Amino acid sequence: MKIASFIIPLSLIVAQAHAAVIYSGLKDFTISNGFDGIYLDVDGGNLVGIDAVGWDVNPFFGGEGIVNSPAFQPVRTSSAIYAPVVNLAPGQTVGPTSVFGSGFNGSSTHLGITAGKFTSGSEGYLGFKLTTNANAGPYYGFMRVIFSNTGSAGKILDWSYQTSGEAITISAVPEISHASLPLICAASMVLRRRRRK
């Protein structure tokens, strides 16, 4: 008895894979305690120079200060210019109903001991809305960071964003997109059946 094999066109897998959660991998970028800090291109996945086209976010003074480009909008307490960015918790979502600013913006009052503030030297989650260098989006994501206001360096540990334009739930462990999971399972079954022949 021959088992029927299922063939999924590669174009369908690739098309569906575009609507996925993109995970940066562990980056562990050090945010220097200097005025320049670091310039991060989120969708490029790397640090860039101060004059580079495509930078998204510039944390400096160990993360005590943050400047963002118009393409990268952190979740804030309000849409007012220089409103503090918010420290989100696992289980919260970032999406179209989150509060963002617009244009070039900054934050310098996001560290403290009250709810929604980043605790100096501790991990936190910065939610964001991103338009990519290729002008795709907006996409929603979150970045795991350690900010400091004690004179020590901070860190950008990693980040994830959803390329479907839908909201994303903050999780301590990166997740595979629910949209691509059935395709991954189906492709796995095809490969398994081909090996049996």
For 42, other C-beta atoms within 10 Å of its C-beta total: 25
Q: How far is the C-alpha of 117 from the C-alpha of 125, rounded, in Å? A: 10
Q: How far is the C-alpha of 138 from the C-alpha of 23, rounded, in Å? A: 16
Residue 119 has what DSSP assignment? P
Token reading at 127: 């939610």
What is the CA 107 to chain-centroid distance, rounded? 18
Structure confidence at residue 90 (pLDDT): 97
CA nearest neighbour of 7 among 192, 136, 131, 186: 186
Helix (H, G, I), strand (E, B) or coil at 72: strand
| 43, 133 Cβ separation under 8 angstroms | yes
Token reading at 76: 């804030």
pTM (two decimals): 0.79
Q: What does each of the 197 residues of the chain score in pLDDT, given as a tens digit?
A: 444 433 334 333 334 445 799 999 999 999 999 999 999 999 999 999 988 999 999 999 999 999 999 999 999 999 998 999 999 999 999 999 999 999 999 999 999 999 999 999 999 999 999 999 999 999 999 999 999 999 999 999 999 999 999 999 999 765 544 444 444 444 444 444 545 55
Structure confidence at residue 174 (pLDDT): 57
Structure confidence at residue 172 (pLDDT): 78
| 146, 155 Cβ separation under 8 angstroms | yes
Question: What are the φ/ψ torsions at residue 65 (nearest 5 degrees)?
Answer: -120, 145
Structure confidence at residue 18 (pLDDT): 54
Domains of the chain by residue range? 19-180
